[in-house]
A and B are shown apart, each in its own frame.
Chain A
């Protein structure tokens, strides 16, 4: 039962253009969403997050959009750079009162930015 889905296993984008990575979730209890970037044999690196009370969060070249009614979020990278080439994981949690809750990860999207 994959509660967080990334339907595109791979994406190829020209340097300087926009990269759009998509993520869908099914659990309506999720209220905090994160994007991580991961290189092989390394730990996930946190990129950006968004709380369910917002529909957009921006940090430099990275913007995350959340559509709660559609249970969909997306990560926009503008402009894309070759160093952005990696696997991107969407993750979601249903935060508990006492502490942050476990993360449920999507299956990942491999982004390749062509020079």
Chain B
């Protein structure tokens, strides 16, 4: 079965640079969620989109923005990167009204030097 696809899987950036993470949800899933997992921590919710509209927002820094496109893929844009942004970033998708279970992608490991 098709799963959530995230790219890139690994990303290394310098401080103050920008990064773009991409997420391709499971086909026919209309809801996308972004989570951040720091070292030794549990995943923390950042932001979600339902039918291309932002549906919920968590502890996402103002330096980050995200959107969901017409084909339902989503991109997380991160600017003025800081050392503390180094983390695993997970994208999850769900069928929305049909089911509430979120299915996660393999994650993008971002390292800020």
Partners in one complex: yes
A interface, CB within 8 angstroms of B: 32, 34, 36, 41-46, 49, 89, 93, 95-96, 98-108
Residues of A near B99 (CB, < 8 A) are 100
Give the total of B residues in contact with A, Cβ under 8 Å: 31
B106 contacts the other chain (Cβ, under 8 Å)? yes
B105 contacts the other chain (Cβ, under 8 Å)? yes
Determine the distance from Cα of A96 to Cα of B50 in the docked complex, in whole angstroms: 11
Interface SS majority for chain B: strand
Least Cβ–Cβ distance between A33 and chain B, in angstroms: 10
Residues of B near A108 (CB, < 8 A) are 42
Interface SS majority for chain A: loop
The residue on A at minimum CB distance from B97 is A99
- Pairwise interchain contact B33-A43, C-beta atoms closer than 8 A: no
The residue on A at minimum CB distance from B56 is A102
Residues of A near B44 (CB, < 8 A) are 105
